[in-house]
């Protein structure tokens, strides 16, 4: 163990404090530890955590005995069985893992006011120990208290207190128990020999670096960040900057979300299930907006019915998959209530949602919106063509031309296709509308808008010139804003010395 001694001069990260400490708490292979807690008799056998209960399910976690038998991550369970007849396997559901993380968070919160759950590494936590050395009598005593609290719950844990975030993480993968680093130089000496394949990096990336003789963190940091970005991409360059201390990330404390609950009084108390179902539907509609804000979907719900002078009645409903389809959920509730018998009229309803987090792009799918019927649109266009001719349905096709009015051409539209989102920004763009007939305004060097209004601002000029082989064209285009807020698209025709309104901007 390393205890605190005279500290060397440290470089302060951007936004950080001089000599500030950070602690990394690692519970290696947390899903495997949870599986062993349910089956303690498996400890001496090869154990794997599989994705699901299928012979071809992938292996996600494995212990040392399984590695010695030649089993590795990504292998199917049926393949692993051929390598070891003593193999034991189990499934750790995401709900079990999430519950364990919440319990660990509450436990670590007793030892530090700032606790962050690392979303990239399962079983990894970050704690802020600054100032607590005065309360515990030193960082070593604080680290031992945290370690003792975790091992008391049956977990295998490592606790390291250091200075640089990524270097501290690397050291946790190379030690056992607790460690308090006295200065940054010692931290570097211990972190640089750590092998890259122990830092949860992509296997392909580690294999490519190994071909160059780069297998430790220290050798990786000897490379130049600019070369890494060119050869391996931005993610590898970001990793190099984090490990070298060029980029500093603050501690982001984890805040547990409160369950979504809603209560409503039924006045007067009712025994009619249709009325109660209508009340529940309106409550779910009120909660749907909150679910969208939190990027969550409904996986189940608990309904508590407060009865008039009778014990409460409780119903629990699970959905087949996380959803935001309220009609589907109301139908499940209707089926459950049709078989329920209440001892007294209902005077209050309380709903607690079981929600799971989903990606924002999945919300539109979960809401169950109907997609556009392209076949129906094509049938409608076919009827228009039959009534008014084949040229009645057209579309604009962009083409290269130096004049704006020649930069597109109208062509017949065969079939309607699904629209594709534009690349880049999703902000609504301004659209130029061409005038059916270009209207000259006045002659002379100044803009005289006349009936269009008084000019407030003008942007330009934007020169367009060409056509010398047929008809000389020289135009200075301007965007002109009037007092009424309208924007006109004008140009000054130099050969003809006149101003022309070419269109408007909306």
**pLDDT value of residue 254:** 58
CATH of the domain at 355: 3.30.1490.100
CATH of the domain at 212: 1.10.150
**Torsion angles phi and psi, residue 332, rounded to 5:** -65, -40
Task: Count how many domains the chain has.
Answer: 5
Residues 264 and 241 in one domain: no
**pLDDT value of residue 463:** 80
462 domain residue, yes or no:
yes
265 domain residue, yes or no:
yes
Range of the domain at 396: 374-412
CB-CB neighbours of 274 under 10 Å: 10
Give me 299's structure tokens. 């996986």
222 domain residue, yes or no:
yes
Report cis status (omega within 30 of 0) of the bond before 9: no
- What are the Cα distances from residue 128, in Å, to 78, 133, 142, 251, 446? 44, 11, 11, 8, 68
C-alpha to C-alpha distance for 97 and 108, rounded to whole angstroms: 16
CA 397 to chain centre: 37
480 domain residue, yes or no:
yes
**pLDDT value of residue 428:** 57
C-alpha to C-alpha distance for 162 and 151, rounded to whole angstroms: 21
Residues 284 and 330 in one domain: yes
**pLDDT value of residue 434:** 75
Residues 397 and 343 in one domain: no
Residues 266 and 360 in one domain: yes
C-alpha to C-alpha distance for 240 and 249, rounded to whole angstroms: 14
502, β-bridge pairs: none
**pLDDT value of residue 179:** 93
Q: Are the C-beta atoms of residues 155 and 27 closer than 8 Å to each other?
A: yes
43 domain residue, yes or no:
yes
174 domain residue, yes or no:
no
Residues 451 and 396 in one domain: no
**pLDDT value of residue 372:** 63
Residues 236 and 327 in one domain: no
Residues 361 and 382 in one domain: no
Residues 443 and 497 in one domain: yes
Residues 332 and 393 in one domain: no
C-alpha to C-alpha distance for 331 and 318, rounded to whole angstroms: 12
Residues 348 and 381 in one domain: no
pTM metric for this prediction: 0.53
3-state secondary structure 141-179: HHHHHHHHHHHHCCCCCEEEEECCHHHHHHHHCCCCEEE
Residues 362 and 289 in one domain: yes
Low-confidence residues of the chain, pLDDT below 70?
1-19, 252-258, 320, 357-373, 387, 390, 402, 419-429, 442-453, 467-470
351 domain residue, yes or no:
yes
C-alpha to C-alpha distance for 304 and 276, rounded to whole angstroms: 12
Q: Are the C-beta atoms of residues 189 and 197 closer than 8 Å to each other?
A: no
C-alpha to C-alpha distance for 383 and 401, rounded to whole angstroms: 34
Q: 139-152 vs 94-108: helix axis angle to the nearest 10?
A: 140
CATH of the domain at 73: 3.40.1170.60
The last residue of a domain, from among 47, 65, 93: 93
Q: List alpha helices for 61-153, DSSP H.
A: 64-68, 77-83, 94-108, 133-136, 139-152
348 domain residue, yes or no:
yes
487, β-bridge pairs: 481, 505
Q: List alpha helices for 324-395, DSSP H.
A: 326-338, 363-366, 374-388
Residues 408 and 452 in one domain: no
């Amino acid at each position: 163990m390393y205890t605190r001694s005279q500290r060397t001069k440290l470089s302060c990260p951007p936004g950080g404090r001089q000599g500030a400490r950070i602690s990394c708490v690692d519970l290696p292979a947390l899903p495997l530890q949870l599986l062993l807690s349910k089956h303690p008799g498996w400890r001496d056998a090869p154990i794997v955590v599989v994705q699901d209960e299928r012979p071809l399910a992938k292996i996600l976690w494995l212990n040392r005995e399984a590695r010695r038998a030649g089993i590795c991550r990504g292998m199917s369970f049926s393949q692993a069985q051929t390598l070891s007849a003593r193999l034991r396997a189990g499934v750790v559901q995401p709900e079990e893992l999430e519950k364990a993380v919440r319990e660990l968070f509450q436990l670590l919160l007793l030892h530090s006011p700032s606790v962050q759950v690392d979303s990239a590494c399962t079983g990894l936590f970050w704690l802020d120990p600054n100032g607590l050395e005065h309360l515990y009598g030193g960082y070593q005593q604080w680290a031992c208290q945290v370690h003792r609290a975790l091992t008391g719950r049956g977990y295998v844990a490592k606790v390291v207190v250091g200075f640089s975030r990524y270097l501290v993480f690397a050291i946790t993968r190379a030690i056992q128990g607790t460690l308090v680093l006295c200065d940054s130089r010692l931290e570097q000496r211990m972190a640089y020999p750590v092998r890259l394949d122990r830092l949860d990096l992509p296997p392909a990336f580690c294999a490519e670096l190994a071909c160059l003789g780069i297998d430790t963190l220290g050798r990786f940091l000897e490379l130049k960040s600019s070369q890494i970005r060119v050869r391996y991409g931005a993610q590898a360059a970001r990793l190099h900057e984090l490990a070298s201390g060029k980029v500093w990330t603050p501690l982001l404390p984890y805040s547990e979300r409160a369950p979504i609950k809603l209560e409503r009084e039924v006045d007067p108390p009712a025994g009619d299930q249709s009325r109660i179902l209508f009340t529940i539907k309106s409550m779910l509609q009120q909660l749907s907006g909150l679910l969208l804000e939190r990027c969550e979907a409904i996986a189940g719900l608990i309904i508590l019915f407060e009865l008039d002078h009778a014990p409460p009645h409780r119903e629990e409903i699970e959905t087949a998959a996380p959803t935001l389809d309220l009609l589907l959920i109301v139908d499940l509730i209707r089926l459950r209530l049709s078989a329920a018998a209440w001892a007294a009229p209902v005077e209050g309803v309380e709903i607690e949602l079981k929600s799971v987090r989903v990606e924002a792009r999945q919300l539109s799918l979960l809401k169950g919106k109907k997609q556009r019927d392209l076949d129906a649109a094509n049938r409608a266009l076919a009827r228009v063509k039959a009534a008014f001719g084949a040229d009645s349905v057209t579309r604009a096709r962009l083409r290269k031309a130096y004049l704006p009015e020649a930069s597109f051409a109208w062509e017949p539209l065969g079939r309607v296709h699904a629209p594709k989102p534009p690349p880049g920004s999703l902000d609504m763009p301004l659209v130029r509308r061409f005038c059916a007939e270009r209207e000259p305004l006045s002659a002379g060097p100044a803009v005289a808008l006349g009936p269009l209004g008084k000019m407030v601002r003008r942007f330009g000029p934007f020169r367009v010139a060409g056509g010398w082989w047929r008809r000389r064209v020289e135009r200075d285009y301007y965007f002109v804003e009037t007092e009424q807020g309208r924007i006109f698209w004008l140009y000054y025709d130099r050969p003809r010395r006149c101003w022309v309104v070419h269109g408007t901007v909306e």
